[in-house]
Amino acid sequence: MNQAVAAARAVLFDFDFTLADSSEGIVVCMNHALDRLGLPPASADAIRRTIGLDLHTALGVLAGEEWRSREDEFLEHFVRKADDVMVASTSFLPGAARVLRTLHEAGYPVGVVTTKYRHRVEDALQRDGLRAFVEVIVGADDVPRPKPAPDGLLQAADSLGIPTGDCVFVGDSEVDARAAQAAGVGFVAVLSGTTTEEEFDGYPVRAVLGGVGEVVPAE
The active-site residue out of 14, 54, 142, 176 is 14
Residue 16 is among the residues annotated as catalytic for this protein: no
CA separation (Å) from 10 to 26, 36, 130, 162, 165? 29, 42, 17, 7, 10
Separation of alpha carbons 138 and 121, rounded Å: 9
Q: Which of 186, 20, 37, 204 is nearest to 114 (CA)?
A: 20
Contact 194, 49 (CB under 8 A): yes
Number of alpha carbons in the 13 Å side-chain half-sphere of residue 120: 29
Residue 18, C-beta contacts closer than 8 angstroms, at least 6 positions apart: 93, 170, 171, 172, 176, 190, 192, 193, 212
Residues carrying an active site annotation: 14
